[in-house]
Structure 1
Amino acid sequence: MALYRRWGRPDVAVDDLAEWLCFAFALPNGEKFALQREALHPPTPGFLLSVTRALFSAEAAESVIEALDVPGAFSVELSAEVVS
């Protein structure tokens, strides 16, 4: 609910798997990222962070989380493909 209060209603996207709630962002340098979660049956209470290639590292993920300044936000698991 903190995200809704801060940024308003999320965008809704639909793919072959599910309906997704999304908060999308663009940085001044053109990089983009989104926070997303399954709308109807989320497997966890949090959001997934999806980023473009330049932000695809553990350090960048932590920087994005810190910059969003969402109370209690932290990373739980990083994809095995993420550069450390």
Structure 2
Amino acid sequence: MTQLLLYTTAGCHLCEDAQKILETIGCKWSPIEISTDNDLIKHYGIRIPVVGIKGQEEELGWPFSENELKNWLNKITSG
């Protein structure tokens, strides 16, 4: 089973928008709070929200639409 990750931080309105899209398409996901890890802050600090899949390098950064997320997921999970 694919484990989606959402790199996020508290108070991020764009992250809230990304969460709504994930919920709309019925994805199960886990939030990754970047503010507690300096390496995550360095990597994602100005890029969040970012969706990833545990164990895979490719990620989808904001902005993305519902259709773009679906297409990305289909590409990632079918290949």
Structure showing greater radius of gyration is 1
Higher strand share: 1
Is the structural similarity TM-score above 0.5?
no
TM-score normalised by length of structure 2: 0.29
Higher RCO, Cα 8 Å, sep 6+: 2
